[in-house]
Structures are given as C-alpha cells and as structure tokens.
Amino acid sequence: MVKSFDKISGIVFLVISLLFISGSLQISGSAYGSAVGPKTYPLILGVVLGLLSLRLIYESFKKNAQTQHAEKSQMNYKNFGIILVSAILYIFLLEIIGFVISTFLFLLVAFQVMEKGKFISSIIIAAVFSIGVYMMYVNLLGGTLPKFSLF
C-alpha cells in the first residue's frame, strides 16, 4: 500500500510543482524597489518540489523491485465514510439550521455509528454538548454562532 501510494503521490506532487511553477511565472514581476519580486520565491519552491517528487518516484520504483509486503488490516471504511459524510453535511447545514441543531444531529449520528445502542445517553450527551457550548460561548463570552433561521 505504501509503495503504490508513493508512486501516485509522487506523480501528484510533480503535477503540483509544474502547476506551481507555471502559476508563479504568471505573477506580475515588478519588484517595487526591492531586488526580488513576488515570483522568485514561489518559483524556487516549485522547482525544489519538482526535483523532490522525481526523487520520490525514483525511490518508489526502486523499492518496488525489491520486496513488497502487502499488509491487510481490518479497516472500518463504512463507519469512516458515514462520519465523513455527516461531517460534510454538518458544515453544509451549520449556517442554515444553526449551531445547536446541526451539532446535536452530527453528534447523535456519530455516536450511533461508533457504537449502536445507549440511545438515551447519546441524546443527553449530544444535547448537553451542543447547548452547553452555545450558551457558554454566546451568552458568557459574547461571541456569535449561527442561529436557527429559515430566512
């Protein structure tokens, strides 16, 4: 897994470096009295990353020829997927349905995904956390968090 990841990431880094170099060449060059303009430093970085990613690709192919350990471990992709999606939904809904409700829903879903059961204590902990944080932050510290509003 590590080796194939290295190959892919090496190529991705190479592409990033090329994009970065071309991007930095498009930055307008005037230096306003200083000897070096705003594009020199990013240009150097782009070139260095390019060289390093070539080295990484070389290393990953070289090691590939030697040995390859395929380690399979039990991965919890399903749980991770659900939590990731619900986290994204949480962000999306945060400014629409407000902090308290979205946080409560996210926590409830995540608690149940982690381990089914104990529904009541999940509800209580999620509610205490979301309402508690909101009250403390908004009422005590005078901050603002998105409120529930349909408009």
Partner 1 sequence: MGTVQYLMDGFATALQWHNILFALVGVIIGTAVGVLPGIGPMSGVALLIPVTATITSGMPTEAAAASSIILLAGVYYGAMYGGSTTSILLNTPGESSSVVTALDGYQMAQQGRAGAALSISAIGSFVAGIISLIGLVLLAKPLSSIALEFGPAEYFSLMLLGLCAVSGLAGKSVTKALIMTVLGLMLGTIGIDAVSGIARFTYDIPVLYGGIEFLTIAVGLFAIGEVFKTILEREADDEPIAKISRIMPTKQDLKDSAKPIARGSLLGFFIGVLPGAGATLASFFSYITEKKVSKKPDSFGKGNIAGVAGPESANNAASGGAMIPLLTLGIPGSGTTAILMGALIMYNVQPGPLLFNDHPDIAWGLIASMFIGNLVLLILNMPLVKIFAKIIQTPKKYLLPIIIAISFFGVYAVQYSTFDLYLLIACGVFGYLFTKNDYPVAPLVLALVLGPMIENNMRRALTISNGEWSVFVTSPLSLIFLIIAIAWIVVPLILKLLGRNVVINEEE
Which residues of this protein are in contact with partner 1, per CB under 8 A?
1-2, 5-6, 9, 13, 16, 20, 23-24, 27-28, 30-42, 45-46, 48-49, 52-53, 55-56, 59, 73-77, 79-80, 83-84, 87-88, 90-92, 94-95, 99, 103, 106-107, 110-111, 114-115, 122, 125, 129-130, 133, 137, 141-143, 145
- Tell me how far, at minimum, the Cβ of 38 lies from partner 1, in Å: 4
Nearer to partner 1, 115 or 151 (CB): 115
The tokens describing 60, both together, are 């990953």
Please, what is the minimum distance in Å from the beta carbon of residue 36 to partner 1? 5
Q: Please, which residues have CB within 8 angstroms of residue 57's CB and are 6 or more apart in sequence?
A: 6, 7, 10, 11, 14
Entry field: residues in the chain: 151
Q: Least distance to partner 1 from the beta carbon of 65, Å?
A: 17
- Residue whose entry in the numeric block shows the structure tokens 């996210």: 106
Report the alpha-carbon angle 126-130-131, nearest 5: 115
Residues 7-31, buried b or exposed e (16+ Cβ, 10 A)?
eeebeebbebbeebbeebeeeeeee
Tokens (6 digits) for 19: 């994009």
Q: Whose Cβ is closer to partner 1: residue 92's or residue 148's? A: 92
At 100, which helix (H) or strand (E)?
A: helix 99-114
For partner 1, give the closer residue by CB, 15 or 27. Answer: 27
Least Å from the CB of residue 80 to partner 1: 5
Query: In angstroms, what is the minimal distance from the CB of 149 to partner 1?
Result: 16
**Looking at beta carbons only, is 140 or 151 nearer to partner 1?**
140
